[in-house]
Amino acid sequence: MLKVSQLWCWSLGATKMQKDFFSTKLPQEVFSLFGLFSPVSREKISLEQSFNRVLAEDLMAPQDLPGFPRATMDGYAVVSKDTFAASEAFPVWLKVVGEVRMGEIPKYDLQRGEAIKISTGGMLPQGADAVVMVEHTQIVDQDTIEVFKPVAPLQNIVLADEDFAKGELILPQGHRLRPQDIGILAAFGKQEVLVYKRPKVALISTGDEVIPIEQHPLPGQVRDINSYTLSALVEESGGVPLRMGIIKDDPKQLRTFCHEALDKADVVLISGGSSVGMRDFTLEVIRSLSGSEVLFHGIAVSPGKPTLLGKVGHKAIWGLPGQVTSAIVVFLIFVKKFIKWVGGERNFPLQEFRIVKAKMRINVPSVQGREDYLRVRVYREGDTFWAEPVFGKSGLINSLIRADGLVKIDLGKEGLYKDEEVEVILF
Amino acid sequence: MLKVSQLWCWSLGATKMQKDFFSTKLPQEVFSLFGLFSPVSREKISLEQSFNRVLAEDLMAPQDLPGFPRATMDGYAVVSKDTFAASEAFPVWLKVVGEVRMGEIPKYDLQRGEAIKISTGGMLPQGADAVVMVEHTQIVDQDTIEVFKPVAPLQNIVLADEDFAKGELILPQGHRLRPQDIGILAAFGKQEVLVYKRPKVALISTGDEVIPIEQHPLPGQVRDINSYTLSALVEESGGVPLRMGIIKDDPKQLRTFCHEALDKADVVLISGGSSVGMRDFTLEVIRSLSGSEVLFHGIAVSPGKPTLLGKVGHKAIWGLPGQVTSAIVVFLIFVKKFIKWVGGERNFPLQEFRIVKAKMRINVPSVQGREDYLRVRVYREGDTFWAEPVFGKSGLINSLIRADGLVKIDLGKEGLYKDEEVEVILF
């Protein structure tokens, strides 16, 4: 314990030790804090631009779909009763009285003993209640067909309201629009869609050693990897990245940048100065902003422990670890869901499934009392997916280049065994 | 056999029967034809815009990364030998001779018996070969620390070329850029990236019954669902959709539209008239274009059988089934990979893994000799993912709204058993 408290003294000063020690959160506690933040405002956009956007209202069917009874096969519209006795040996003969033209209301009402030629998608004529597939018929002459197989009532057709009935809920508020969802909006003639705005996410890079990418680094300096990596991650999460630039390890400058960022954006990400001093004053600067509250400072996750979340008015400031590997892990586990949450998304079936089950290739030890995220390469042998750890110091980005995803080692586990089944969260 | 050949006569005329019957392809044969098409041309774009774009050249490390030896922990740079005897009971005393400032070359060269304070990411001073973590030290006075634990040579540091060494291959041509890849490009100061252009994909909707979405359908008419759904799928595949509009069941008009589409785009998708006649003349129109070749007409996949692929010069024309459900299945199984192929992508680890293993909730029968794609809803109970079929006639889009993905039933299988493990290809 002595050694742990010493660490906290180093970084925070002894007077704050106790308070901040207890502000370390478990992952589940972090997620439960999301409810303190509301979604961004809404906007109307054109259907063409709505792919991957988040619905901001429940979508109900404004009318029946398809709106009229349709054939689902090529063949003949018939009265199903007429075909009940049909067989290969004793086909039924029907009189062909016309053809349904695509896109038009059929000109004939069907009578018993009659058939009307129809294509997939054609409107069923009055009097007909089924379609005989063309494969089950034979042309006898210009006006007559043989039917070899009976059809049941409603067979090979869809009813006017069978896809969606007027008033039915099609898609709920908070649903991210997939291609088929765009299709259903088109079907109902929705040229505009009410969606949540894409959350604006301001990115501040900090550190005396960090330089813009267009400069050539001197020994001791590194280019600003984080804000470019985080920009792409923000895009992937449905947000709009705003790169604010790089600041030195200077609380005054950080405070100015925070004010500006809170003005322009819904969420602020500070990718933390790697120096110890910087970590302190990120916390102090957030505390000093009016109306601010630090929700936590430290999470029981490795890598990613020094993460913090502050609330300033209704906006959020995240302090992320300075090492890019840690920053990416924290982003994928927490910040991505947070941006989606603020972006109004409430219904994540797919996101949850960007997971593949794999078997561990080797034993991996871990530390109890925190969630460990292991970088792994995934490959396939026959029906088995294998997860092979990609080791690498957390200051190195190459492990992330070689890896395909992350494996979580739960708080209570001492590690993973070879051949144990794990879930890989894919990049 | 009689019934099958009759179907072909119906749709193609008896003289072509034999030829086209044999042009039906197995899925594996379809993929093997992709090699006949070359990738689109390349362009230079800014790093900011390169997320999810496909690298058009091998990326080699232009210099060592990080470029100088760095601390990966907060603590003290030391000569590791000095600490070998350190223990809790008998700590080693070292003289603190200064501090490394972030982003600067250390001012001191370290001597035996000395330590220099350093933060994560700081440049290691000359003479030092390791960093002692601050947790393993105790301040004695202004100039002295106790070290409780030994460090090995190179511990808690990274070497100048440990992330990437100059000349090393970082990312291969054909790799789609992920957030961490953008980070590595930033690290090397790449403000511009050579990528493949996004393939342009022209979309032609056909059918006398199809009307633009801004019009109100009369009985027998439906709005143009397909070109909106396919636009979103093209976007998702990395292509640029060009909606050409709707044409009636008229070969002349289709021919004119094909010429225009081939002029503007790299790939043309015709989402097929649902009428039988239209299917014929899509084939005839493609055959009539100069320099054209029909690679196949019909695939052993359900839904999706009437799919065709033509090659006109170096460009591709796909004829997709008219029913939106079938069109989406064919797109996800074949066309998505084709667009990625034409877009230069060659290295699909993630795409392949957008799969979840699940157990079938119920028995599902199937037909041998073709690949069946079943729409399923996926849900989780504890550690088990369940796949529950979403039944629905193929003319209905609602099954796709309720489903999360597709399960393939292989050519040789008669169906799937309850509790059988399957792979779900997620939407």
Domain limits of chain A?
Answer: 2-41+198-350, 42-64+163-196, 70-158, 354-426
Give the mutation candidate from A7, A116, A120 for the B interface (greatest B CB count, under 10 A): A120
B173 contacts A215 by C-beta, under 8 angstroms: no
Instruction: State yes or no: pLDDT of B111 exceeds 60.
Output: yes
ipTM: 0.89
Q: Containing H/E element for B185?
A: helix B179-187
Nearest residue in chain A measured CA to CA from B404: A350
Give the mutation candidate from B50, B120, B233, B423 for the A interface (greatest A CB count, under 10 A): B120
pLDDT reported for residue B19:
44
pLDDT reported for residue B273:
59
- For residue B157, name the pLDDT band (cuts at 50, 70, 90): very high
Q: Which of A122, A134, A228 sits opposite B10 (nearest CB)?
A: A134
The answer to whether B102 contacts A236, with C-beta atoms less than 8 Å apart, is no
Whole-angstrom distance, CA of residue B31 vs CA of residue B70:
48
Nearest residue in chain B measured CA to CA from A186: B225
Task: Name beta bridge partners: A230.
Answer: none
pLDDT reported for residue B13:
38
**CATH topology for the A354-426 domain:** Beta-clip (2.40.340)
Nearest residue in chain A measured CA to CA from B149: A3
Question: Under CATH, which number does the domain A70-158 receive?
Answer: 2.170.190.11
- For residue B380, name the pLDDT band (cuts at 50, 70, 90): confident
Instruction: State yes or no: pLDDT of A40 exceeds 50.
Output: yes
pTM of the predicted structure, to 2 decimals: 0.90
A219-256 core/surface letters (b: 16 or more CB in 10 A; e: else): ebbbbbbbbbbbbbbbbbbbbebbbbebbbbbbeebbe
- For residue B10, name the pLDDT band (cuts at 50, 70, 90): very low
Q: Which of A102, A227, A354 sits opposite B249 (nearest CB)?
A: A102
Instruction: State yes or no: pLDDT of A411 exceeds 80.
Output: yes
CATH entry 3.40.50.300 includes domain A42-64+163-196: no
Residues of B in contact with A103 (CB under 8 A): 207-211, 220-221
**Which is nearest to A326 in space by CA: A248, A427, A400, A388?**
A400
Measure B76 CA to nearest chain A CA, in Å. Answer: 13
B120 contacts A323 by C-beta, under 8 angstroms: yes
Whole-angstrom distance, CA of residue A198 vs CA of residue A40:
8
Give the mutation candidate from A274, A352, A422 for the B interface (greatest B CB count, under 10 A): A274
Whole-angstrom distance, CA of residue A300 vs CA of residue A27:
7
The answer to whether B352 contacts A380, with C-beta atoms less than 8 Å apart, is yes
Question: Under CATH, which number does the domain A2-41+198-350 receive?
Answer: 3.40.980.10
Residues of B in contact with A183 (CB under 8 A): 225-226, 228-229, 232, 324, 328, 397, 400
Nearest residue in chain B measured CA to CA from A274: B120
**CATH topology for the B42-64+162-196 domain:** Molybdopterin biosynthesis moea protein, domain 2 (3.90.105)
Residues of B in contact with A138 (CB under 8 A): 6
Torsion sign over Cα A257, A259, A265, A267: positive
The answer to whether A236 contacts B51, with C-beta atoms less than 8 Å apart, is yes
Nearest residue in chain B measured CA to CA from A2: B135
Architecture in CATH of B2-40+198-347: 3-Layer(aba) Sandwich (3.40)
Number of A to B CB contacts under 8 A, please give it: 322
Residues of B in contact with A178 (CB under 8 A): 232, 427
Mean pLDDT of A333-353: 84
Collect all residues with Cβ–Cβ distance below 8 Å to B324 and sequence separation of at least 6: A180, A183, B225, B226, B229, B397, B400
Hey, is B350 helix, strand or coil? Answer: helix
Q: Do domains B42-64+162-196 and B354-426 have the same CATH topology?
A: no
